[in-house]
Amino acid sequence: MLFRTHQPKASEIKRSWHFVDVKGEILGRVATKIAQLLIGKHKRTYVPHLDSGDYVVVVNAKDIRVTGRKEQQKTYYRHSGYPGALKARTFVQMKEKNPGKIIELAVRNMLPKNRLRSQRMGRLKVFAGSEHSYSDKLKGDI
């Protein structure tokens, strides 16, 4: 008797929507859950070479927390590639300016560094407040 492992095709992938409220949650712990949903590891049909993840809508990004002294010490860097163009922002500055970027960066760095990362990040929708435009697609939450 011959048993074969089922290999799903890209056309067979069914994507669902997940709602995540991060109010008062710890950044790293929430980011790992979101990354798992975007990758699709929670599904029985997961295969590493296909993008089988779901859509994730994150609300209340302005109320995310970090532990310890990271609130004052955590620094986000960007560089344009030109000499002397290194920019640095603290966690507090990022939270005031663009709180959604904090979650996007945390989740992006938890995803595998391969060709599927940009597709997976495209399915992440982050909102600073509790208002969002995807209420018709959402069913459950974390």
Give tens-digit pLDDT for 57-75. 999 999 999 999 999 999 9
Q: Is residue 75 part of a domain?
A: no
| 109 within a domain of the structure (yes/no) | yes
pTM: 0.90
Domain count, the chain: 1
pLDDT at residue 141 tops 80: no
Q: What is the pLDDT of residues 30-56, one digit of tens each?
A: 999 999 999 999 999 899 999 999 999
Closest-CA residue to 23 (of 109, 101, 129): 129
Give a yes or no: residue 83 inside a domain: no
The whole domain housing 34 covers 15-66+98-141
The answer as to whether 7 is a domain residue is no
Confidence at residue 105, expressed as pLDDT on a 0 to 100 scale = 98
The answer as to whether 19 is a domain residue is yes
CATH of the domain at 55: 3.90.1180.10
Q: Is 30 within the bounds of a domain? A: yes
